[in-house]
Amino acid sequence: MKTQKLGRGLDALLGEIDEAYENEGSQRDVILEIPLKDIRPNPFQPRKSFDETALQELADSIKEDGLLQPVVVTEDIDGYVLIAGERRFRASKLAKLKEIRAIVLNSDEQKMRQFALIENIQREDLNSIELAQAYHELIKLHEITHEELSSMIHKSRTHITNTLRLLQLSAKTQKALAEKKISAGHAKVLIGLDEKEQQLFVDSIVGQKLSVREVEALIKSKKQESQPQSKEKSPAVSLDLQKLKSRLNELDFNCKTSQNKVTFEFNSQEEIEDFLTYFE
- The answer to whether the pTM exceeds 0.75 is no
Domains identified in the chain and CATH numbers: 11-124 (3.90.1530.30), 182-223 (no CATH), 242-269 (no CATH)
Of 107, 106, 70, nearest to 89 by C-alpha is 70
Q: Output phi, psi for 264, to 5 deg.
A: -100, 145
Helices 195-208 and 171-178 pack at an angle, to 10 degrees, of 30
Instruction: Give the type of residue at 143.
Output: E
pLDDT tens series, the chain, 280 aa: 444 444 444 454 444 445 555 554 444 456 788 888 988 887 766 666 777 888 888 888 888 888 878 888 888 778 888 877 888 888 888 888 888 888 887 665 556 666 666 666 655 566 788 888 888 877 877 778 888 888 877 788 888 899 899 999 999 999 999 888 999 899 999 998 999 999 999 999 999 998 999 999 998 888 887 766 655 555 667 777 788 778 777 777 777 887 778 887 878 777 777 777 776 5
The residues with which 101 forms a beta bridge, in sequence order, are 33
Q: Which alpha helices (H) appear in the chain, and where do they start and end?
A: 11-22, 52-65, 86-94, 109-123, 128-142, 146-153, 157-165, 171-178, 184-190, 195-208, 212-226, 242-250, 269-276
- Residues carrying an active site annotation: 86
The residues with which 279 forms a beta bridge, in sequence order, are none
